[in-house]
Amino acid sequence: MQASIPLIIGLTALAFMISVPCGYLRQNYVKYSFMWFLLIHIPIPFIIFLRLEAGLDWHVIPLTLGGSVAGQIAGGIVSRRRKRNGQTG
């Protein structure tokens, strides 16, 4: 397990980076709408695929889930700040 710690950290960081754009876009939709749910769940198959390809077992799921949630939150924060500052795009 010690040898795979950099791999686990990298996968968690990748889960974060994949989720940031989805969290950013999610802010433009009504809460609990179809697109809101879709943007929350889009990164999950990619993260599962990457975890399986890396040969990591289910013990890593809480870390990647945490990275994904943090990415969604970070993307939402960026979106809200841009709107508050009058920037569009």
40-85 tens-digit pLDDT: 999 999 999 999 999 999 999 999 999 999 999 999 999 999 999 8
Q: In this structure, is residue 89 part of a structural domain?
A: no
pTM of the model: 0.89
Does residue 66 lie in a domain region?
Answer: yes
CA distances from 82 to 13, 16, 26, 27, 77 (A): 23, 20, 14, 11, 9
**Which DSSP state fits 4?**
G
Structural domains counted in the chain: 1
Which range of residues forms the domain containing residue 53? 2-84
